[in-house]
Homo-oligomer: A and B are copies of this chain.
Amino acid sequence: MSEGRVARFQRERSEGNELVFKYAGTNMKRFWTLDGQAYHEGALDAKTKELLGLVASLVLRCDDCVTYHTIQAHEAGVSTKEYEETLNIGLLVGGSITIPHLRRAFAVWEELQGS
C-alpha cells in the first residue's frame, strides 16, 4: 500500500527536524521550544489553540503547517463541523487564493477519518 499523506508528512517532518537540530544553535532550538509551548493548554484549551494554529496556517498558505495542525486538531477531538467552520473563516479572511490549500486540508482530514 502506498504511503498516505499523513504518514509521508510525519516521516518528512521527523527527518527534517532531525536535520535542523543537527545544525541549530541555541537560539534556534529555543524557538522550537517556545513554538511547542504556545499550544499547551492554558486559559484556552489545546483544541482551541490547534484551531488557531490551523487558521493562521491556512491564511498564510503553508501546506505542511495546515497538515500538522489538522492532525493535531483531529487528535484533540475536533469535530468535522468545527474543522469546516475554522477553514471557512480562513477562506473568508484569506480569499480564493487559499482554495488549493483548502482542498489539500480536506484530503488530510478525509484520510484521518479512516484511521
Interface residue ranges, A against B (CB under 8 Å): 12-13, 16-17, 19-20, 22-25, 27-28, 30-31, 34-35, 37-39, 42-44, 48-49, 51-53, 55-65, 79-100, 102-104, 106-107, 109-110
Considering the chains assembled together, what is the distance between the CA atoms of A104 and B76 in angstroms? 28
A55 and B52 contact, Cβ closer than 8 Å, known pairs A35-B96, A64-B100? yes
Contact B23 A84 (CB under 8 A): yes
Prevailing SS type, chain A contact patch? helix
Minimum CB–CB distance for A17 against chain B, Å:
7
Contact B24 A92 (CB under 8 A): no
Minimum CB–CB distance for A50 against chain B, Å:
10
Partner of A28, one of B25, B80, B88, B110: B88
